[in-house]
Copies of this chain bind each other. A is one copy, B any other.
């Protein structure tokens, strides 16, 4: 997560705390009300500060949202390490297990569900998510691949994972919603392995 302040205001002793408090309030607001119904003003109110201070630290509503979802996506930052650590033939399995672990944990799942809700209902939120996901998670994961067309590969694998998230955690359709996580890992790992490493995968 970037902690660089955007503008030239000198940092007072409590400025770090204030920034964190605004960020926490923004995550709460976006999560509870969605992107459309959240405003810089409502975030300021929830944080107990003036809207101008929200602007000062983060810029526009879009930029506050970007900072907020960066926190929600922080657990995904370890995906490249999870991919790289171990036998290349079991990469699909590690990727699947890593993703399921994040989504099985309510503390990491709920903020991500909130991001999905905002991105699906608002084009600006979708664009911010697209930027973050492309620039950080997908690009870094693609950097771990030795095969050609790594971005396309990673997106095919991401599509498989996102679809599991939708059926299991969002729409909650049975039997996949209650299936043992390790069973789901075993089922999708071969598809992920192929997308990530098979030479025939190309755009």
CA–CA, A201 and B187, complex, Å? 6
Interface hits, A84-132 → B, CB 8 Å = 116-117, 119-121, 126, 129-130
- 1/0 contact string of A24-46 vs chain B (CB within 8 Å): 00000000001000000000000
Say how many copies of this protein the assembly contains. Answer: 2
Query: What B residues does A156 contact at CB under 8 A?
Result: 176, 187-188
- Smallest CB-CB separation from A164: which chain B residue? B159
Using known A-B contacts A164-B163, A172-B126, determine if residue A203 contacts B188 with beta carbons closer than 8 Å: no
Whether B158 and A175, one on each chain, are in contact in the complex, defined by CB atoms closer than 8 angstroms, is no
Whether A152 and B176, one on each chain, are in contact in the complex, defined by CB atoms closer than 8 angstroms, is yes
Query: What B residues does A1 contact at CB under 8 A?
Result: none
Give the size of the chain A interface in residues (CB under 8 angstroms). Answer: 43
- Smallest CB-CB separation from A116: which chain B residue? B120
CA–CA, A31 and B155, complex, Å? 28
Whether B201 and A130, one on each chain, are in contact in the complex, defined by CB atoms closer than 8 angstroms, is no
Query: What B residues does A203 contact at CB under 8 A?
Result: 175, 179, 183
CA–CA, A203 and B188, complex, Å? 12
CA–CA, A159 and B177, complex, Å? 11
Query: What B residues does A126 contact at CB under 8 A?
Result: 170-172
Using known A-B contacts A117-B120, A173-B134, determine if residue A159 contacts B167 with beta carbons closer than 8 Å: yes
8 A-B pairs (CB sep. < 8 Å): A120-B170, A126-B170, A130-B173, A133-B173, A152-B176, A158-B167, A159-B176, A191-B194
Q: Which residues of A contact B (CB under 8 A)?
A: 34, 116-117, 119-121, 126, 129-130, 133-134, 138, 151-152, 155-156, 158-164, 166-168, 170-176, 179, 183, 187-188, 190-191, 194-195, 201, 203
